[in-house]
Amino acid sequence: MKSFVKGGAAALAIIAASQVGADEDANLIINGETEITVRADAPEHLDNVSTIYSGWVFRSDETQALQMDDFDNPGMIFVDQGRDSWVLAEGSEGKSCADCHNEPESLANVRPTYPKWNDETEEVRTIAMQINGCRTEQMGAEPWKYDSTSMLNMEALLSSVARGQVMNVAIDGPAQSMWEQGKELYYTRTGQLDLSCANCHEDNYGNYIRADHLSQGQTNGFPVYRLKNAKLNGVHSRFKGCVRDTRAETYAVGSEEFIALELYVASRGNGLSVEGPAVRN
């Protein structure tokens, strides 16, 4: 992996350091049975990266170990809470998720394909948008706030039943224009630090920014349990934090800009396994 720093102003913020504590050759097997693809050939639409890596690869041995056993993974507490919500009847229709979908495992093929184009609404939907679509259109229930506790618990549940399945986000057809918008955002420098997503996660993955080991910023592990704030974190909240760290005005969680960015970033991980809820720093 990379051992030196590239990229203008990024050199002021990023400190190359010895990669102490991270076993970048390790393989992730959850509960001794579910094999997770944590490195793969980059998808054809990526020009500047030949191999893609899960963020798990860049974590310390101790953090890696937390994700290898569900009893140790603190994110699994929220999966259990998601299961409670799954069977809870709500709204004017008096329905629960289970009434239409039976067990959560019946939706194991959902997480790997999101965000995706929805023909009925003629829009790209994130998995959070789809969950709220079910709540409002099928259950007659109030939508959950984007990246709220209830929403992230349900996302964690849907991710957990899809672990081991390969990310396969479509970027062609009617979704292509939104994907192009996300790509432009990914490479646009912003803020007083004049940094883009690519400066950290494409040019400098494997290096350190302050005390944090930079990953490729893959989203296959979301929602993630961060040791830093001891809770589940959604993709858009993480985007918001990254943009804020460049000292720029950020977009809102659930905004069109972040939906586009999520579509693009998710597609960069095509070939990696779903592994949420992942554990990160």
Question: Is 83 one of the annotated binding-site residues?
Answer: no
Residue 265 tokens read as: 């970033």
Sorted by sequence, the CB contacts under 8 Å of residue 281 that are 6+ apart come out as 59, 63, 212, 213, 226, 227, 228
Kindly write down the DSSP assignment for every residue of 26-65, as one continuous string. --EEETTTEEE--EEEPPTT-SS-SEEE-GGGGSBHHHHH
Question: Is 213 one of the annotated binding-site residues?
Answer: no
Q: In the chain, what is the greatest distance between 2 CA atoms, to the nearest angstrom? A: 58
Question: Is 111 one of the annotated binding-site residues?
Answer: no
Residue 93 tokens read as: 């229709």
Active site residues: 242
CA separation for the pair 128, 234 (Å, rounded)? 10
Question: Is 238 one of the annotated binding-site residues?
Answer: yes
CA separation for the pair 218, 280 (Å, rounded)? 12
Annotated binding-site residue numbers: 97, 100-101, 134, 197, 200-201, 238, 242
Annotated binding-site residue numbers for heme c: 97, 100-101, 134, 197, 200-201, 242
Annotated binding-site residue numbers for substrate: 238
